[in-house]
């Protein structure tokens, strides 16, 4: 008899759902809105309802469901206690216990922070395939991260593991990060941060650049112009790589992963981004770890549901 | 019937041995010289001989020995393959297989890098007692480290996990570290590094200090003078704390441990050292991890044998 797994990657506006065969193959994926009203009280019942509907649609009985994996946009500890999700209005509660109340016939529930779960998904079926440990760095609006060692998510005592974006890489910085500290990696290497840094660099010199002619340029413009040899864009990407590569070297001095996985909007520029980061990574890394590679994330928005399934299938 | 465990912490000049009851209580400890001649070919036979002699002395049969844990002064991977120990003259070989040849009646052998093993020992019976995860930072002649998560040593792909001393905390440094890079944590926070930094700081100002009157002052002098309020010594310890605290914040952004354990010669100064580090740790750490504490290592040179026993008993 065929067995199945459900993954539910809960985001601030929608929940991504995946139905997988127990060998890890994706059978169906879909989305439902995240109803954050009333302290997010509807979110998990909506997920349970979506799972029941899908089971009916495919004629799957509860005994055929190995379990449900859930990605949460906030800290989750090893016993699956959620410690506040501001985006959802959630306080502190045990998500496994809540799901067991909603779907008592499917007792096996696992949960993790969404960034960590995405890292697990990429390690399993994406850019980190074939490795046992990886650190994923997501260069999006902010900079997030996930640490997976020996196939297991590292959450940390306070759910702070993988908060790569808040490494203080520029102690002398006076402009504050959204977190309140100054000099965080996110301020230089997120899609938004690299634009801010570019504007500062452009204001400090007269080097001609096509960037000067684009009002409200984005990180995509910077990467595209660097790819065609715009001198200033190359300088910006070089400094971006200096910060990111140094942060990666700190990660290696701590856990020495098999591979780095670079995801998020900035990663769409591909080699431009990884080459710049690895150039400086090799400069700053301890010699034994110098050859560690950086892969581009492959699963995009599906990384979360794959990671959810993986949490259950291990 | 009482069961026992042996720990053998191999150093460049001596092997520290420990005989433990299987509940973790230390029954006897002793040392034998490390014979590094002929590519270190005698080291493991000597360890095996010492274990057999101790078994005879205490009337312990092989069936009463749960296993042997070994600390190695070099990289060891998860399958117990040693990847060169320059201090011992060792190349690449599997240390478990070698021990099984020497003592076939005691099949259970575990091994790890000495710094990681010491961290495990401190977590189990020393400064980190009661925690599940810890990062130990050893401030000795160099700066070493060990990472233990969920009671398990993190070795890393290349045995580079825990190489805290080689985080590049001062990218603009022009003086090279012993590793060849410039700006490593070790250059500012090891017993030797803090003296070097102090001399640079003293040469750059005229602030009076008792340090100026001590020829060839040591890190101990700096800590002692800081404790009695010598202004310059306090400034040096403050900068030491800035570097160390920042490195600790990078560790928290990666694995968010339960506790830091500070060991090595510098740790004998106690609160002077941890207070300086935590002051800056709290400045640089991501907010969720700000309250993580730093304990002073308690087991001294015995941390290794305790960690060796723990590897076997888990």
Using CB atoms within 10 Å of the CB of residue B300, give its burial: 0 to 12 exposed, 13 to 18 middle, 19+ buried.
middle
Residue B26, strand partner residues: B20
Torsion of CA A216, A222, A225, A226, to 10 degrees: 160
Predicted confidence band of residue A310 (pLDDT cuts 50, 70, 90): very high
Residue A12: predicted pLDDT: 87
Residue A72's pLDDT is 93
Interface of A with B in 206-265 (CB under 8 A): 242, 246-247, 249-258
B178 vs A: CB within 8 A: no
Full pLDDT tens readout for chain B, 314 residues: 789 999 999 998 899 999 999 999 999 999 999 999 999 999 999 999 999 999 999 999 999 999 999 999 888 888 899 988 878 989 999 999 999 999 999 999 999 999 999 999 999 999 999 999 999 999 998 899 999 999 999 999 988 999 999 999 999 999 999 889 999 999 999 999 999 999 999 999 999 999 999 999 999 999 999 999 999 999 999 999 999 999 999 999 999 999 999 999 899 999 999 999 999 999 999 999 999 999 999 999 999 999 999 999 98
CA distances from A108 to A6, A161, A190, B88, B210 (A): 11, 25, 36, 50, 66
Chain A partners of B168 at a C-beta cutoff of 8 Å?
Answer: 246, 249, 284
Sheet containing strand A152-153, strands side by side:
A152-153, A143-149, A134-139, A259-263, A293-296
pLDDT value at position B12?
A: 87
pLDDT tens by residue, B107-145: 999 999 999 999 999 999 999 999 999 999 999 988 999
Query: Could you say which of B154, B252, B289 has the minimum Cβ distance to residue A149?
Result: B154
Q: Give the burial string for A71-91 (b: 16+ CB within 10 Å, else e).
A: bbbbbbbeebbbbebebbebe
Q: Are A158 and B246 an interchain contact pair (Cβ–Cβ within 8 Å)?
A: no
Task: Please report the pLDDT score of residue A197 as a whole number.
Answer: 97
- Residue B111 near residue B11 (C-beta atoms within 8 A): no
Q: Å from B134 to nearest chain A CA?
A: 10
Contact B166 A292 (CB under 8 A): no
The reply to whether residue B179 touches residue A288, judged by beta carbons under 8 angstroms, is: no
| CA distance linking residue A176 with residue B86, whole number of Å | 46
Neighbours of A23 (CB within 10 A): 9
Report d(CA B284, CA B280) in Å as an integer.
6
Given phi > 0 = left and psi -120 to 50 = alpha, else beta, which region is A84? left
Q: What is the predicted pLDDT for the residue at A108?
A: 97
Query: pLDDT at position B141, please?
Result: 86
Identify the three-state secondary structure at position A175. Answer: coil
By the CB < 8 Å criterion, does B172 face chain A?
A: no
Q: Does the CB of A62 have a partner CB in chain B at under 8 Å?
A: no
pLDDT of residue A64: 97
Neighbours of A268 (CB within 10 A): 17
Domains of chain B: 4-120+302-313 (3.30.420.40), 129-298 (3.30.420.40)
Q: For an interface test with A, which of B112, B138, B142, B157 has the most A Cβ atoms less than 10 Å from its Cβ?
A: B157
Q: What is the pLDDT of residue B152?
A: 93
Q: Which residue of B has its CA nearest to A144?
A: B253
Cβ–Cβ below 8 Å for B256 and A159: yes
| Predicted ipTM of the assembly | 0.91
To test the contact with chain B by mutation, choose from A286, A290, A295 the residue with the greatest count of B C-beta atoms within 10 A, namely A286
Distances (CA, A) of A297 to A72, A137, A262, B16, B166: 20, 9, 6, 46, 28
| Per-residue pLDDT tens digits for B182-217 | 999 999 999 999 999 999 999 999 999 999 999 999
pLDDT surpassing 90 at residue A86: no
In tens, the pLDDT along A49-81 reads 999 999 999 999 999 999 999 999 888 888 899
Looking at residue B295, its pLDDT comes to: 97
Name chain B contacts of A242, Cβ cutoff 8 Å. 171
Compare CB distances from A253 to B149, B166, B288 and report the shortest one's residue.
B166
Does pLDDT of A237 surpass 90? yes
Report the alpha-carbon distance of residue B261 to residue B246 in Å, rounded: 15
Check if the beta carbon of residue B99 is closer than 8 Å to that of residue B44. yes
Interchain CB distance below 8 Å, A255 and B255 = yes
Look over chain A and give the mean of its residue pLDDT values, rounded to a whole number.
95
Separation of CA B265 from chain center? 11
Give 3-state DSSP helix, strand, coil % of chain B, rounded to 5. 45, 25, 30
Q: What is the pLDDT of residue A56?
A: 97
Q: What is the pLDDT of residue A314?
A: 81
Chain B residues in contact with A158 (beta carbon < 8 A): 256, 288-289, 291-292
């Amino acid at each position: 008899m065929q067995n199945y797994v459900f993954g539910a990657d809960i985001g601030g506006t929608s929940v991504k759902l995946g139905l997988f065969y127990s060998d890890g193959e994706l059978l169906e994926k879909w989305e439902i809105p995240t109803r954050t009203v009333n302290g997010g009280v509807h979110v998990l019942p909506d997920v349970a309802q979506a799972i029941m509907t899908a089971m009916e649609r495919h004629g799957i009985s509860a005994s055929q469901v190995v379990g449900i994996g859930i990605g949460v946009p906030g800290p989750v500890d090893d016993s699956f206690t959620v410690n506040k999700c501001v985006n959802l209005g959630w306080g502190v509660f045990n998500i496994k216990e809540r799901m067991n109340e909603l779907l008592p016939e499917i007792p096996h529930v696992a949960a993790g922070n969404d960034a960590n779960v995405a890292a697990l998904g990429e390690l399993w079926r994406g850019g980190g395939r074939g490795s046992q440990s990886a650190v994923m760095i997501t260069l999006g609006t902010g900079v997030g991260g996930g640490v997976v060692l020996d196939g297991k998510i590292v959450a940390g005592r306070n759910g702070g593991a993988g908060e790569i974006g808040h490494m203080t890489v520029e102690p002398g910085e006076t402009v504050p990060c959204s977190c309140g500290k100054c000099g965080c990696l996110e301020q230089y290497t997120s899609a938004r941060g690299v634009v801010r840094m570019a504007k500062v660099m452009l204001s400090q010199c007269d080097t001609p650049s096509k960037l000067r002619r684009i009002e409200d340029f984005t990180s995509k413009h910077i990467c595209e112009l660097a790819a065609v040899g715009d001198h200033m864009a190359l300088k910006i990407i070089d400094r971006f790589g200096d910060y990111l590569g140094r942060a990666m070297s700190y990660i290696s001095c701590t856990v020495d992963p098999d591979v780095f996985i670079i995801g998020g909007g900035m990663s769409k520029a591909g080699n431009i981004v990884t080459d710049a980061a690895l150039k400086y990574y090799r400069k700053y890394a301890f010699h034994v770890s110098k050859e560690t590679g950086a892969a581009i994330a492959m699963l995009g928005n599906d990384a979360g549901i794959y990671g959810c399934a993986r949490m259950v299938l291990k």
